[in-house]
Amino acid sequence: MVEATPLWEVFIRPRNGLSHRHVGSLHAADEVMALQAARDVYTRRGEGTSIWVVPSLAITASDPDHADEMFEPTADKIYRHPTFYEIPEEVGHM
Amino acid sequence: MYSQGLIGADGRTEEDAAFLAAFQARIDAEEKIEPKDAMPEGYRRTLVRQIGQHAHSEIVGMLPEGNWITRAPSLRRKAALLAKVQDEGGHGLYLYSAAETLGVSREQMTEELLSGKAKYSSIFNYPTLSWADIGIIGWLVDGAAIMNQIPLCRCSFGPYARAMIRVCKEESFHQRQGYEIVMTLMRGTEAQKAMAQDALDRWWWPALMMFGPHDSESAHSEQSMAWKIKRFSNDALRQKFIDATVPQAEFLGLKVPDPDMVWDAGLNDGQGGYRHGPIDWDEFWRVVKGGGVMNRDRIRARRKAWEDGAWVREAARAHALKRAARKVAAE
Amino acid sequence: MSEAFVTALLELADDHLVLGHRLSEWCGHAPMLEEDLALPNMALDLIGAARGLYARAGEIEGKGRDEDDLAYLRGERAYLNCLLVERENGDFAQTMLRQLYFAAFMEPYWRAAASSDDPVLRGIAAKAVKEVAYHIRHAGEWVVRMGDGTGESARRMAEAVEELHRFTDELFFSSPAAEAAEAAGLLPVRAETRGAWEATIRTVFAEARLGWPAQVWAQQGGRAGAHGEALGHLLAEMQSLHRAHPGAAW
């Protein structure tokens, strides 16, 4: 078994005003090299103005097996959405 | 650049019928499958294998074109070719990343490539003998790859589909770059024109082989289609490629080296298309199995890069440990 | 004056093309995939700068020579690059150290070129200064990792210093042509960048735990076309196809 270089997740802000978005991953020994590699790999065509790199191991993910209990309970709470409430048209946009 | 001829896919799977049916229902509903979702083992295995082969093809694919970076005949061409070969490396990297979401490491995949266990597109086992090869590869090989990769952008496995979208976006310049090279040669001296025809003669058939064996011979293709890992059959994509490419060759004044090629009005559901002559599948299998001129050289070059680089990767990891320790000590 | 300026521009252009060419030799053979992308990025920066410099030289010269005439049709003795950039890649330690040495020189040089009397050069410098600043970072971080990594990497890094340091003095040497262009306010004075260069290198070396090399005989000659043996092979390869088809368009 070969020793592995750690995996990093890369997030890029395409331009100011937008959030950082996950674009892919890469291998690097430390955070400085990860940042440089992210620049060299993922911004060759002017894709971004800011980069985040996060060790893949540092990400805690929800378990798809628990998706039902995690996400379905919100489905019927339609009173959280503006269309649940009836406002006469004369009132105008609200 | 790559092709779809997945070699030796094994879609066998042992889950119960209810599980498989539920999974198939998700696929049929065009839901994307994400890495941590429950999936049949055969689906996972097929993807690891296909994405791995695809990634290896990109990486090995750097070598034949890389062979001409240092001899590119103008600075403009040199920069474009370097950027293109660099892109292939990037595409390999995106694809390894996609495969890694399925729990297989890049190091593992690399070892499999170097040991000969994992395959890659057989076209890269042909040598690049002249500058025209660079043009023809961009035009035909990248052209064939694009034909295959565009449908892969809709592949059912999320990370693979996302990687493909990025790859397709970047690759749009590759084929144009190649075609422009060939066009310039065909507008040039007699020697340049001959160079272009010679390159087409050598690359045409291997390019057709990139789409993989005929549908009737293509094992496990059906399962991949059902799982929407693969969206079109080998023969369908090959036909699409031929129909797109023959007129492009005519425009250039090049002759496709297939004496049997004819226009057949009955092809493509009566829309018409070019019927090609017989493909030498013996050659295809011979080259896949290691009998191409460059097979050994390609793997040797990759092994050399990997082994010569080992001390560098080790140094970076060792330094990272020291850094981390110093950071802790400073806190 | 213009003749000297043309010559001095060719010196700069040759430095960039030859080093860019050397870096491009790594593409597909780097120690990790991430570097297969990083090295061409630097190579493309350098080749891009070379093209601008050749074009400017050809324009001022006024004999109708374009970037490719200048890059592909001058032989070994007519190439005016410094010896450092033509050195063979060696291992990754040597490649990265060579890059650091060169970038650490070019960064203050391009910064000073912002006040050149030649507007085209100012434009080239404005773009290049950002590129080489990144090259310093990238190469510098690698030198640190190899210098302060494993026993083997430290040994190789020290060997690289021994191999390459003797070529660094030439960076600060101005040929008669360069001197004339400097005196005319067209180019920065090479010797004046030494302080900034040395500060950069000393910072990196300290972090990399690399010793400052003992004085050795400084190698020079590139600016007079007196090269080592490696350049002839590089040019033979680079120019072979172009020269085999005189006058052809590509």
Chain B residue whose CA is closest to A62: B36
What's the domain range around A62?
7-91
Within an 8 Å CB–CB cutoff, is residue B309 touching chain C? yes
Query: Residue A19: what pLDDT?
Result: 96
Residue B3 has pLDDT above 60, yes or no: no
Identify the CA nearest to B98 among candidates B28, B150, B50.
Answer: B50
pLDDT per position as a tens digit, B64-79: 999 999 999 999 999 9
User: How many distinct structural domains can be found in chain A?
Assistant: 1
Residue A68 — very low, low, confident or very high, per pLDDT cuts 50/70/90? confident
Q: Domain for residue A30, yes or no?
A: yes
Long-range CB contact pairs, A63-68, < 8 A, 24+: A63/B36, A64/B34, A64/B36, A64/B37, A64/B38, A65/B38
The percent of residues above 90 in pLDDT, for chain A, comes to 64
Calculate how close chain B gets to C218, using CA atoms only, in Å: 29
Identify the CA nearest to B235 among candidates B276, B266, B283, B265.
Answer: B276
Residue B6 has pLDDT above 60, yes or no: no
Residue A3 has pLDDT above 90, yes or no: no
Q: Quick check: A44 and C37 CB within 8 A?
A: yes
Complex ipTM:
0.97
> Residue A12: phi, psi to the nearest 5?
-130, 135
Identify the CA nearest to C237 among candidates C24, C10, C57.
Answer: C24
Of C23, C26, C27, which to mutate for an interface test with B (greatest number of B Cβ within 10 Å)? C27
Q: Domain for residue A16, yes or no?
A: yes
Residue B5 has pLDDT above 90, yes or no: no
Q: What is the mean pLDDT of residues A29-48?
A: 95
Q: What is the DSSP letter of B138?
A: I
Q: What is the DSSP letter of C165?
A: G
What chains are in contact with B, requiring at least 3 Cβ pairs below 8 Å? Answer: A, C
Q: Domain for residue A51, yes or no?
A: yes
pLDDT per position as a tens digit, B33-61: 999 899 999 999 999 999 999 999 999 99
Query: Residue B171: what pLDDT?
Result: 86
DSSP string, B6-60: --S--------HHHHHHHHHHHHTTPPB-TTS---HHHHHHHHHHHHHHHHHHHH
Q: What is the mean pLDDT of residues A26-40?
A: 97
> Residue B262: phi, psi to the nearest 5?
-135, 155
Cβ-nearest to B86 among C27, C144, C242: C27
Q: What integer best gives the mean pLDDT of chain B?
A: 93
DSSP string, C101-130: HHHHHHHHHHHHGGG-S-HHHHHHHHHHHH
Q: Quick check: A64 and B111 CB within 8 A?
A: no
Residue B1 has pLDDT above 60, yes or no: no
**Per the structure block, which two tokens stand in for B176?**
């144009």
Query: Residue C242: what pLDDT?
Result: 98
pLDDT per position as a tens digit, C159-208: 999 999 999 999 999 999 999 999 999 999 999 999 999 999 999 999 99
Q: Domain for residue A42, yes or no?
A: yes
Q: Which of residues 200-219 of B touch C (CB under 8 A)?
A: none
How far apart, in whole angstroms, are the C-alpha atoms of residue A44 and residue A53?
Answer: 17
Which residues, in sequence order, are bridge partners of residue A13?
A: A50
Within an 8 Å CB–CB cutoff, is residue B326 touching chain A? no
Calculate how close chain A gets to B89, using CA atoms only, in Å: 9
pTM: 0.94
Alpha-carbon A51 to chain mean position: 12
Q: Domain for residue A41, yes or no?
A: yes
Angle between helices B158-186 and B234-252 (to 10 degrees): 20
Q: Domain for residue A1, yes or no?
A: no
Q: Quick check: C33 and A44 CB within 8 A?
A: no
- Highest mean pLDDT out of A79-83, B35-39, B166-170, C232-236: C232-236
Q: What is the mean pLDDT of residues B277-295?
A: 94
Lowest mean pLDDT among A72-86, B165-179, C78-92, C160-174: A72-86
Of A26, A32, A33, A35, which to mutate for an interface test with C (greatest number of C Cβ within 10 Å)? A33
Q: Quick check: A41 and B90 CB within 8 A?
A: yes
What chains are in contact with A, requiring at least 3 Cβ pairs below 8 Å? Answer: B, C
Q: What is the mean pLDDT of residues C39-64?
A: 98
Calculate how close chain B gets to A86, using CA atoms only, in Å: 34
Calculate how close chain B gets to C42, using CA atoms only, in Å: 11
Q: What is the mean pLDDT of residues B148-176?
A: 93
Q: What is the mean pLDDT of residues C106-131?
A: 98
What domains, with CATH codes, occur in chain C?
2-244 (1.20.1260.10)
Calculate how close chain A gets to C28, using CA atoms only, in Å: 14
Strand A7-13 with A21-27, pairing: antiparallel
The percent of residues above 70 in pLDDT, for chain B, comes to 95
Q: What is the mean pLDDT of residues C35-57?
A: 98
Query: Residue C70: what pLDDT?
Result: 98
Lowest mean pLDDT among B6-20, B130-144, B281-295, C138-152: B6-20
How far apart, in whole angstroms, are the C-alpha atoms of residue B122 and residue C131?
Answer: 38
Residue A1 — very low, low, confident or very high, per pLDDT cuts 50/70/90? very low
- Chain B residues in contact with C89 by the CB 8 A cut-off are none
**Per the structure block, which two tokens stand in for C78?**
């007519």
Q: Domain for residue A53, yes or no?
A: yes
SS3 A85: coil
The residue with tokens 């770059």 is B177
Q: What is the DSSP letter of B157?
A: B
How far apart, in whole angstroms, are the C-alpha atoms of residue C191 and residue C201?
Answer: 16
**Per the structure block, which two tokens stand in for B102?**
């399925």
Chain B residue whose CA is closest to A22: B162
Check which CATH number belongs to the domain holding A45 and give it.
3.10.20.520
Q: Domain for residue A2, yes or no?
A: no
pLDDT per position as a tens digit, B205-263: 999 999 999 988 876 678 889 999 988 889 999 999 999 999 999 999 999 999 999 99
Identify the CA nearest to B93 among candidates C34, A30, A29, A12.
Answer: C34
